[in-house]
Structure 1
Amino acid sequence: MKFTDGYWLMRPGCTARYATEVADVRADDHRMTLYAPVKHVTRRGDTLNSPLLTVECWSPAEGVIGVRTTHHAGSVRRGPEFALPGAGADTGKVRRDGAVLELVSGELTLRVDTEQPWRLEFTAGGRMLTSAGERGTGFVTDAEGRHHMLAQLALGVGELVYGLGERFTPFVKNGQTVDIWQADGGTSSEQAYKNVPFHLTNRGYGLFVNHPGKVSYEVGSESVGQVQFSVEDQSLEYFVVHGPTPKQILERYTALTGRPALPPAWALGLWLTTSFTTDYDEATVGRFIDGMAEHGIPLSVFHFDCFWMRAYQWSDFAWDPETFPDPEGMLARLRQRGLRVCAWINPYIAQKSPLFEEGMREGYLVRRADGSVWQWDLWQPGMALVDFTNPAARDWYTGKLRRLLAQGVDCFKTDFGERVPTDVVWHDGSAPERMHNYYTHLYNQAVFDLLREERGEGEAMLFARSATAGGQQYPVHWGGDCGSHFNAMAESLRGGLSLGLSGFGFWSHDIGGFEGTPTPTVFKRWVQFGLLSSHSRLHGSKSYRVPWHYGEEAVEVTRAFTLLKHRLAPYLQRAAQQAHTTGVPVMRAMVLEFPDDPGAAALDRQYMLGDDLLVAPVFTDDGTVEYYVPEGTWTNILTGVQVTGPRWVREHHGFHTLPLLARPDSVIPFAADDQHPVSAWADGVELRVHAFADGAEHTLVIPRADGPGETARFQLRRDGDRLRVTTNSPHSWQLRLGGPDGTLHTSPAGTLEADLPYPR
């Protein structure tokens, strides 16, 4: 929110008070509290009739420093609050040298000189990260009498800001105004489904604002050298998270707010849906599944979108008897075909639903101050919201889902959760403004916990649209309602990369776009992109997304890239394990892997898929694509063509290829089975070695498919014209040098060491 009118003036009705100096300090071994007047104090009389800010500083985890600034401490603290599972005992150490106080946590230091004008300096390794200076700590009252706490942290020359959730605006956030406020706004505006008050920069730190309600950011957009953030409250708390690398920042941030669960490996395969407002019944579903099989396209998951339930009754969790008269039998038949099933749900109860009367009677629906149930007609006529702050309502809601799981449903698409009113009363007394963003967390947590209880650890997963900080614990998330054109495809990727830099490990999108119908060209290009994402789902609104509706070549492309993803499954599962254990996403913005390469800083039309694969989707009708190659020799795993960087490359690709490049000195495992996402990955695995330099070493892990851990490990080292391979795998394996047509060596089962030729 902007408060100033240029540099010198305030906006009409706004009055600002900023910390000017340190008047007093209270410190122990681990914490320090600074008392900051908002004017320079020269005599005793200056202490009267003027605010005094309380600034508490501590460290909840190594490399993380918290700052809480409070004006009036007597305000009632109503929830909700972000859970911080990684916050432990004070880990910082306070030290004092004359007038200088320092709070040290790992390599991160907060420094305050109590004899100088107000300034909080955050340094690491002797290098300044950021600081809160002259206007960096304070509060503003606006023309309507609202009280806003604010902070400003300095941006260095060339410092770039990323993250703040799944945002579809420009990837680098400098110059933008961003409101952390959940909205159902599609993928082509400043609104976002997934709002996360966390950003990181290319200067070695991230910053998390610990406030679940609205946080208003001015990212170099009010004071161009500052990131300002404000909340309508009497207190503002934030954490500076040191890296120094972007990956280390994400590791520390997700350790604090929660790491992603590991989704089941079967979810890596292709998903197909009924689409939204299309006509469908069991015969339609069967026709789609038969069609995929007839065209040789393996299918892993079938999703039933909204109209599996009766119109006007969402959600009542009952199959429409006219279109699905035998749901148990149908689900059993789908399971016999090797398919998993996903069902669409939302947290709203329409008035026509039999559950509305029950929920109203039992107090399970969100109410207004006068005791009436909050309702409106947007989306579903007379719909109400389930009050997840009421444990009984949570149990009631998940009890309906439990019956669907018993019928044979495997997972749920948890749609919506963004349009949450603020003129209501919550069962647990939560503040409505703070619940607006946080509601989605309770919703997705309730469903995920149910799945974990019913299906077991490692089998639970959602297909969720809305989220906020901490929501990464309940994957998978998808990008919401996008158009069906190249611009929408690009904006979707931009949002997914921003979400990945906000701590979310897994992300998907509607292949072909949601609104409208894609051209065959767009469909084929989106299929390539979608099947090179962490999770892959064909979905639309008013038109089906079965490939044969877009031509025979669309069928061929869908088949080829589905089979490719199956072969890459061990590689993708390893990346998924990394997301689960470190918080580093499967789909990574280039800046995450190459933070020291200025050429990678602003790239948002390409990404790294795991550690070693660069993907540059094609966004043009004629197949032209421009992408950036970092340093080294990169190998296209589809064509074998090598490209040496750092440089920009322009290429033309038909529909069966795109820039899909293996990193120099990388080894990519290809499963022998291309028909299933889950197979005996280590048995017959093909190890593709790419541009291995003399002396290069690489350790390759073949992961487990049923959870964390590994089934085999290969260690490779090149010495001149020899490549030495050591493994613990009892299975047969293959090794291929270069691209798909490179030299192939096959080792029989039980070969634990090999010394193979490597041509110079």
Structure 2
Amino acid sequence: MIIQMLENEYWYGGCVSDGTRMPVGPEDNLEIQLDPNPTPNQAMPLFVSSKGRYIWKDAGFPIHFDRGNIVVPDDVRCEGGFGTLRGAYLAAMERHFPFKPVNLSRALLDKPIFNSWIELTFHQNEKDLLHYANSIVQNGFEPGVLMIDDGWSEYYGDWSFHSGKFPDPAKFINKVHDMGFSVMLWVCPFITPDTVAYREARDKGLLIKTAEGKPYICEWWNGYSAVLDFSNPEAVAWFDRQLQALQEIGVDGFKFDAGDSIYYREGHLTFGNVTPNEQSRLWAEYGQKYALNEYRVTFRAGGYSLFQRLCDKEHGWGNKGIAALIPDSLLQGITGHPFSCPDMVGGGEYLNFQQLEDSGLDEELFCRHSEIACLMPAIQFSAAPWRVLSPDHLQIIHRHLALRSQYESQREDSFKAAVSSGEPMLRFMEYQFPGEGFERVTDQFMLGSHTLVAPIYEKGKASREVSIPRGRWLFEGNTIVSEGEVRVLTPQAGMPIVLELQKDPQK
């Protein structure tokens, strides 16, 4: 089927990691494959347009934007008549992915999250984690969620604390709780082969099998593992029992990693006879029962009660680093994932991070990442700021967190809107101000309906261009009356540009 683009029509959607390639206009040529989701981040079989149309299918599909023509399979739906980008999104959301009841813990959004990955990588252990937690508090940071990453368990599939690294897990968790932290643990749907857990899951029929009926052994970034079949209720119950045992000793929630569609295969034997994308969706659906959850990759999980972060970014200035944070986060919102986190401050791609750390990290880059994240739904640190930054740069991080507190009511309002109506917490300029020529503005965002945020994301810059919609805006105590122009603004050193839309006194 060929869909003709309308004049000056722009499309957004699909894979969150394509944020820097959005929107797609009449002059663009772009092919996207959603069957299966080839990316390490969220994907939705949804595209919405600035002219009030949307494209949807319940499953993944290929789409080709070909210079004014949109080529899709015949069974894809294209609906129109909704006026604006906002109208198209709300119509698609209400019809195809209405929001589930949201039971997310506010600890994920109200306080900084500290993840142990960059500091400890695979060497998670009680002694060093307690040191990390103590250092957070001693360096003036508010205790929030302590997210313990891969390396804490005996092996994949046996989700109990490694006895050599954690002599008394319950006592350890109590100590962390006493400091004011909630505790989350990294888990995945994989099982290390040739272990007791593997043999148990195999014998109970809980694993995905090849077409020949043998347990499927998947090659993933940490090696080779068998894979739980989340279309099987017995596999879900088996996993449940392990996580419940962890909760009984004080664990508050879980970081659900992996579940990427690319690690499943068509033609494999599953209880529910499901596709790779559906396995990914079932893994995402599972996590909604926990108020403290985190996902990096999902398929068709828009509207779920999930905390979803961007995939690991490089410690760099380009589109593989912080230049992608705003576009990707905006795409999360317009595809139904409003409760988002822009990766770990400084970059979460640990091999890239460690290599650069040996030769000296870019402290300006680290601080600009924090600047971008500070007025987003969540902010997450991994590399300890007090270890990798000078005292002056560390003070900038604290200023960002103070600004975050200053805008607590605006963040609260945007959260309530997402919960009640499914609207994005972070919004494209075109979403909030349709028809003013902001279709391609993707390096600034609206926090809710009245707060415009334009961080600086280029090295060495102290100012930047800002696209300002029509109206009266307050910027650092000064009023700007805009007719819809672009202005160069200079914020306080190290801080984002923030403008507040003022009410018209005549109305």
Pairing partner for 2:34 from 149, 164, 180: 180
Gaps of 5+ in 1: 1-150, 185-190, 452-459, 666-692, 697-760
Q: Does 1:473 align with 2:315?
A: no
Q: Deviation digits for residues 157-185 of structure 1, max 9, x if unmatched?
A: 2111111131334121232111114556x
Query: Which amino acid in the other structure matches residue 159 of structure 1?
Result: E
User: Which residue of structure 2 lines up, in the alignment, with residue 48 of structure 1?
Assistant: none
User: For the Cα contact (< 8 Å) 1:295–1:555, is it kept in 2?
Assistant: no
- 2: CA distance between counterparts of 1:570 and 1:329? 37
User: For the Cα contact (< 8 Å) 2:44–2:302, is it kept in 1?
Assistant: no
User: Which residue of structure 2 lines up, in the alignment, with residue 489 of structure 1?
Assistant: 322
Name segments (4+ residues, structure 1) moved above 6 Å: none
Pairing partner for 2:469 from 630, 634, 637: 630
1:382 partner SS: strand
RMSD after superposition: 2.1
| Alpha-carbon distance, 1:653 to partner | 4.3
Q: Name the CA shift for 1:522/1:315 in 2 (closer, same or farther; >3 Å).
A: farther
* TM-score (norm. length: structure 2): 0.90
Gaps of 5+ in 2: 354-360
Query: What does residue range 299-338 of structure 1 map to in structure 2 within 5 Å?
Result: 299-310=143-154, 313-338=155-180
2:156 partner SS: coil
Query: What does residue range 201-350 of structure 1 map to in structure 2 within 5 Å?
Result: 201-210=49-58, 212-213=59-60, 215-219=61-65, 221=66, 224-230=67-73, 236-238=75-77, 240=79, 242-256=81-95, 257-259=97-99, 261-268=102-109, 269-276=111-118, 277=121, 279-310=123-154, 313-350=155-192
Pairing partner for 2:424 from 582, 585, 597: 585
Q: Deviation digits for residues 260-316 of structure 1, max 9, x if unmatched?
A: 525222222100111152644223222222222222221211110101124xx2242
Between the two proteins, what is the percent identity of the paired residues? 18
- 2: CA distance between counterparts of 1:176 and 1:438? 25
User: For the Cα contact (< 8 Å) 1:209–1:239, is it kept in 2?
Assistant: no
- 1: CA distance between counterparts of 2:103 and 2:463? 36
User: Which residue of structure 2 lines up, in the alignment, with residue 444 of structure 1?
Assistant: 284
- 1: CA distance between counterparts of 2:469 and 2:185? 42
| Alpha-carbon distance, 1:586 to partner | 0.6
| Alpha-carbon distance, 1:546 to partner | 3.2
| Alpha-carbon distance, 1:259 to partner | 0.9
Pairing partner for 1:170 from 4, 21, 29: 21
Q: Name the CA shift for 1:651/1:695 in 2 (closer, same or farther; >3 Å).
A: closer
Query: Which amino acid in the other structure matches residue 480 of structure 2?
Result: V
- 2: CA distance between counterparts of 1:309 and 1:655? 43
| Alpha-carbon distance, 1:579 to partner | 0.7
Q: Deviation digits for residues 639-686 of structure 1, max 9, x if unmatched?
A: 324433222222344544220111122xxxxxxxxxxxxxxxxxxxxx
Q: Does 1:372 align with 2:214?
A: yes
| Alpha-carbon distance, 1:564 to partner | 2.6
User: For the Cα contact (< 8 Å) 2:326–2:372, is it kept in 1?
Assistant: no
Query: What does residue range 76-87 of structure 1 map to in structure 2 within 5 Å?
Result: none
Size of the alignment, in residue pairs? 482
- 2: CA distance between counterparts of 1:242 and 1:307? 51
Q: Deviation digits for residues 358-405 of structure 1, max 9, x if unmatched?
A: 111100000012110000343344301110111111111122111122
Q: Does 1:522 align with 2:365?
A: yes
2:72 partner SS: strand
Greater Cα radius of gyration, structure 1 or 2: 1
User: For the Cα contact (< 8 Å) 1:366–1:373, is it kept in 2?
Assistant: yes
Q: Name the CA shift for 1:578/1:481 in 2 (closer, same or farther; >3 Å).
A: same
- 2: CA distance between counterparts of 1:348 and 1:258? 30
Bigger fraction of residues in helix: 2
- 1: CA distance between counterparts of 2:469 and 2:456? 19
- 1: CA distance between counterparts of 2:294 and 2:330? 17
- 2: CA distance between counterparts of 1:399 and 1:655? 51
User: Which residue of structure 2 lines up, in the alignment, with residue 122 of structure 1?
Assistant: none
Query: Which amino acid in the other structure matches residue 104 of structure 2?
Result: P
- 1: CA distance between counterparts of 2:187 and 2:162? 14
Bigger fraction of residues in strand: 1
Pairing partner for 2:338 from 481, 500, 505: 505
User: For the Cα contact (< 8 Å) 1:511–1:523, is it kept in 2?
Assistant: yes
| Alpha-carbon distance, 1:241 to partner | 5.5
User: For the Cα contact (< 8 Å) 1:635–1:641, is it kept in 2?
Assistant: yes
- 1: CA distance between counterparts of 2:331 and 2:464? 22
Q: Name the CA shift for 1:182/1:320 in 2 (closer, same or farther; >3 Å).
A: farther
